[in-house]
Structure 1
Amino acid sequence: MDQKKEIKKTNDQIINSFSTELQTKVKTSISIIEEAVARYGYEGLSLSYNGGKDCLIILDLIHSIATGILPTNLTNPEKLKEIVLFYLRDEDDFEEIDEFVNTSLRSYDFRNYTKFATNSLKQGLIYILKEYPKLQGIFLGTRTADLKGRKQPIFAPTNGDWPESIRISPIMEWNYSDIWDYLLTKKVSYCELYDQGYTSLGLKSQTKQNPLLKQKNGEFLPAWVLSQKSSERDGRILSLSNSSTSTQIH
């Protein structure tokens, strides 16, 4: 069997390991990433990576496309490893998140990575666009569940006094179950806090373990056990109504 056929066989095996519904969503996400490259080029793309489960999915998708693990129509997909990753770090972040970001970036071996001391996505965009003026599209882990009924296109221009850029949401239509189906089926390493009953990670002062996962003995089940998808954010102490200005939705 020649190399191309062997790669296709491996690609098919990975895709087919997902449920039929998740297969469709993965393929849609790949198409969105391909469209982003067509629109802005490799040098015009960035990923806001904070170590949470949602942006971790995007990081893994991009890496899997770049390394031939997932199928793609891109020419030179390995150049996806050159996109800029940036981490908006707050002093109130969980130490486990900070450690996981560093560990995962070493594991995935992306070439361009920078860190800014801010919790504001708006301020982070100001920083990153100043440092990398060619950037146009920013991959974000935004999902429909984060929007609280608001409509936002997959490719969404910033507005108002925000820095001019395009927010790209490859997993917009994924739900909570999809996230965990992907991570567990593909055996993707994730932050240890999710195994301790946290289903949504924000600042330490605004986040607690999801009460629905608490057992009679006081211990908590892992995040992926949660069956009520609408209760994903039940461990978040403050409202997420201003989530568009914050990086802290994981």
Structure 2
Amino acid sequence: MTTLDDKIRNSEAQLSNLLERAGAESVRVAWTGGKDSTVVLFIWKMLLDHAGLGNGRVINLDTGCKFPEVLAFRDRLTGEWGLELFVARPAVALEGYPLARDTLACCLELKVKPLQAAIAATGTTHLLTGIRRDEHPDRADRQAQEKRLTPPHVLVNPILDWTETDIWAFHARFDLPHCELYDRGYRSLGCRPCTARPEKGGPERSGRDRNKEQMLRSLTSLGYF
């Protein structure tokens, strides 16, 4: 059985090798403000600190309909950790926009296109994510590194084999901060129109919009992580 210590060492090794190969300047963390990407950010930040390379660069996707608690947590931790934050925002005007009416089109305009624009604008060659295989069936076959073409970059997924329990155990071990919504019963955080508290005893992402969940593989193919 693989222990949490084993998983930590594996994730650290992946990111340490990346740092040696790619350096720090063109590597960014896709930091949502959620529990998982905060773990990735913390590990990456510690490696950078040890190498004397600063605290880390992050891309945060602000669709315009995020929970205010998530945005407040993002801004607070950015200041406390001294992060270089790039906020990606959609080009479409949100006033009157049919949020979540057509799930795929909505995610394309509010998530995929702004993320792609941010990657290009920042010159990001490697984007670190906090996705995990066990959180959704469509992520079961995801790989540690995945090449993307639009724009050209590599997705790096260092905690694929972690579980939700692993994530919270890591938070507890290193006393990591987290968004207050988790204390209110949320387990997976997305946009407000598509996120609710999960069903009692249900899967981690059971509070997410079901139409979007069914389209996760399509969103990934379009360029989302």
User: Match for residue 52 of structure 2?
Assistant: 78
User: Match for residue 4 of structure 1?
Assistant: none
User: Match for residue 140 of structure 1?
Assistant: 129
User: Match for residue 233 of structure 1?
Assistant: 205
User: 1 CA distance for matches of 2:116 and 2:122?
Assistant: 10
Q: 2:75 aligns with which of 102, 124, 127?
A: 102
Local SS of the residue matching 2:40: helix
Q: 2:30 aligns with which of 4, 25, 48?
A: 48
Query: Quick check: 1:127 aligned with 2:118?
Result: yes
Query: Quick check: 1:33 aligned with 2:15?
Result: yes
How far did residue 34 of structure 1 move? 1.0
User: 2 CA distance for matches of 1:170 and 1:60?
Assistant: 12
Local SS of the residue matching 1:211: coil
Deviation readout 1:201-238 (Å, 9 max, x if unpaired): 1111111112216xxxxxxxxxxxxxx7xx11111123
User: 2 CA distance for matches of 1:195 and 1:208?
Assistant: 14
List alignment gaps of at least 5 residues for structure 2: 91-109
How far did residue 37 of structure 1 move? 1.3
Q: TM-score, normalised by structure 1?
A: 0.73
Which of structures 1 and 2 has the bigger CA Rg?
1
User: 1 CA distance for matches of 2:131 and 2:8?
Assistant: 15
* 1:124 aligned partner, one-letter code: L
Local SS of the residue matching 1:153: coil
Query: Quick check: 1:152 aligned with 2:107?
Result: no
Contact 2:62-2:89 at 8 Å conserved across structures: yes
List alignment gaps of at least 5 residues for structure 1: 1-19, 69-76, 214-227
Deviation readout 1:2-34 (Å, 9 max, x if unpaired): xxxxxxxxxxxxxxxxxx711111111111111
User: Match for residue 182 of structure 1?
Assistant: 170
Contact 1:120-1:246 at 8 Å conserved across structures: no
Deviation readout 1:63-98 (Å, 9 max, x if unpaired): 223334xxxxxxxx22152x4211110111100000
* 1:88 aligned partner, one-letter code: L
Q: What are the within-5 Å matches in structure 2 for residues 7-18 of structure 1?
A: none
User: 2 CA distance for matches of 1:132 and 1:147?
Assistant: 31
Runs of 4+ in 1 over 6 A off after TM superposition: none
Q: What are the within-5 Å matches in structure 2 for residues 178-217 of structure 1?
A: 178-212=166-200
How far did residue 51 of structure 1 move? 0.3
User: 1 CA distance for matches of 2:223 and 2:35?
Assistant: 16
Contact 2:132-2:159 at 8 Å conserved across structures: yes
User: 1 CA distance for matches of 2:180 and 2:118?
Assistant: 29
How far did residue 122 of structure 1 move? 4.5
